[in-house]
Amino acid sequence: MNTRITKLLFAPLISCAALPSLAQDIHNQGATIYISPNTTMHTSGNVVNHTGSTIQNYGDFTINGDLTNQATFNGTGKITMMGTTTQTLDMGGSDIYSLLLNNPANVQCAASFVVTHQLDMQTGNLTLGSNNVTISSAATITNYSSTSYIVTNSTGNLTQNDIGTSGRSGTIYFPIGSSTSYNPVSINNTGTKDNFSTKVYPTIYNSYTAGAGNGGALSSSKEVDRTWIVNEATAGGSNITLTLQWNSADEDASFLRSNSAIALYSNGAWVMNNTGGGAASGAAPYTRSRAGLTEFSNTPYGIGSSGSPLPVQFSGFDVVKKNMDGHITWSTETQYNAENFEVERSFDAIHFESIGTVAAVKNTNANNYAYDDKMVLQNMVNTNTPNVYYRIKEVDVDGKTQSTGIKSLQVKGNSAASITAMEGVKLLPNPYTDNFAMLYNMNSNMRVDFRLLDMSGKLIYTQSANAMKGLNQFEFKGLENLAQGVYMIEANLQNGEKQLYKIVKN
């Protein structure tokens, strides 16, 4: 039986504490249905709010069937979807103040909508299809879990507004996944506040266009078989620590959980994590994080491991004296989409210039490279220049770049020698959460001045140590409250040497 309401103010009927269930379907045709505060209206069938009609919900509107809105639907009440078979939700462009999902058979969207107060994922999934769900800056998502999350099974996104400085600070959780796996995203933006959209594919592709996968599935077996797409409403200004989560069933056959990293796909190529790989966190599910990300234009992100085509990985980089030349060597563990390598030189460790280019070997295997900076040490002796610094910049076929760390040589008096005073430097742990230490070997006794800077060059921390010949350890303490991100450690030795290292705060 269908209940048809025509040109009727419904408030007098439902201003009581609760209503009995209305049988079968409700069709509102030209009337105003008003659900009073602290009341519950329940229907065991479908609800259709036809053109020219109004539903004003200030109570709890519980529905066992589908909800289709073709007109005006407003109020600060709650909609509860509590069917036992799959329900369809079509708000027709109207916002929802509060939505409670209590349906183990799931709810599917037939139109995009905005939640202005709360999305309560109590039981069951919300499947987006080609539609978007937006969580306004004043709204929250609650009670999400591995069995109650938002399924991004097509082009639809989960969007959360105003994440970042002067907006929603800290880690914001996006409880998304595929129809078979829960793969949430966490975003912590210390940059300009913005609206961020996310979705996840149950496949990692050879290529992407505007965030859509194409070119077939990646043939490698060393990745997590998931692609996360992240987009920001306004380009620029973001500084993100991104955390991705997966399950063991999502991993490809040769994926190495102990040596994994987040990579992003940009302008036709996967770009490595410059901070290197490491062990995944957690124990079923697992997570990896990457700080200092600024690119979010429907950008694909993935998880690769050692030997994966996702990150191009440097496995070695060194600089030694060769007569009066600087002999520079580097090696790659893998190199996908590499066009060439630029050798860059600096005399102050800040301003670098390109001094030569070496073409990349056109394969994906491990490769070794070398370049000689001719007579640079003799010129340094002549000009009384004490140090020279080098780094290698890899250039992809599409123009994207990534760089190694910095290595240096030192001139002493009228001779040139490779830096030997401070060697074997290790940062433990890296990334770090609370505090970390630097282990290093000294070939003589001397003072070392340590400085910690952020990526803009702002001094965060300074301390000196009287290092002794042999193995030394310096502990960086009181840094647990630093914002998540990438920082630079500068070690200034008493003999004039300077060494630079990156540390990541999780």
Over residues 188-239, the pLDDT tens digits come to 999 999 999 999 999 998 888 888 888 788 777 789 999 999 999 998 889 9
Predicted pLDDT at 166: 92
CA dist 334 and 312 (Å) reads 5
Predicted pLDDT at 12: 34
Predicted pLDDT at 217: 84
Residue 312 has pLDDT above 70, yes or no: no
* Sheet of strand 470-476, all strands in order from the earlier edge strand to the far edge: 422-428, 436-442, 470-476
Q: How confident is the model at residue 501 (pLDDT cuts 50, 70, 90)?
A: confident
Residue 160 lies in a domain: yes
**What is the span of the domain harbouring residue 273?**
80-305
Max CA distance (Å), the chain = 101
Predicted pLDDT at 222: 83
Domain count within the chain: 3
Q: How confident is the model at residue 4 (pLDDT cuts 50, 70, 90)?
A: low
Predicted pLDDT at 259: 84
Q: Does residue 259 sit in the same domain as residue 376?
A: no
34: which residues sit within 8 A by CB, 6+ positions away? 9, 10, 11, 14, 56, 58
Residue 186 has pLDDT above 60, yes or no: yes
Q: Does residue 505 sit in the same domain as residue 394?
A: no
- The residue ranking higher by pLDDT, 346 or 218, is 346
Q: Does residue 366 sit in the same domain as residue 446?
A: no
Residue 24 lies in a domain: no
Q: What is the CATH number of the domain that holds 496?
A: 2.60.40.1930
Q: Does residue 322 sit in the same domain as residue 415?
A: yes
Residue 29 lies in a domain: no
Predicted pLDDT at 412: 61
Over residues 330-339, the pLDDT tens digits come to 988 766 667 8
Q: Does residue 246 sit in the same domain as residue 285?
A: yes
Residue 53 lies in a domain: no
Last residue of a domain, one of 242, 270, 305: 305
Across the range 109-127, mean pLDDT stands at 98
Residue 36 lies in a domain: no
Which residue in 87, 20, 10 sits closest to 54, CA to CA?
10
Q: Does residue 114 sit in the same domain as residue 217?
A: yes
Q: Does residue 140 sit in the same domain as residue 265?
A: yes
Residue 411 has pLDDT above 80, yes or no: no
Predicted pLDDT at 135: 98
What are the beta bridge partners of residue 418? 409
Q: Does residue 298 sit in the same domain as residue 357?
A: no
Over residues 351-382, the pLDDT tens digits come to 889 999 999 887 766 789 999 999 888 788 77
344 neighbors 371 (Cβ within 8 angstroms): no
Over residues 430-457, the pLDDT tens digits come to 888 888 888 888 888 888 999 998 877 7
351: which residues sit within 8 A by CB, 6+ positions away? none
CA dist 128 and 113 (Å) reads 10
Which amino acid makes up residue 97? Y
Predicted pLDDT at 415: 44
Last residue of a domain, one of 404, 419, 434: 419
Q: Does residue 121 sit in the same domain as residue 109?
A: yes
Q: Does residue 217 sit in the same domain as residue 190?
A: yes
Which of the listed ranges 40-44, 139-143, 320-324, 394-398 does the model predict with the highest average pLDDT? 139-143
Three-state secondary-structure class, residue 376: helix
Residue 18 has pLDDT above 60, yes or no: no
CA dist 117 and 113 (Å) reads 13
Residue 73 lies in a domain: no
Predicted pLDDT at 274: 46
Last residue of a domain, one of 276, 305, 334: 305
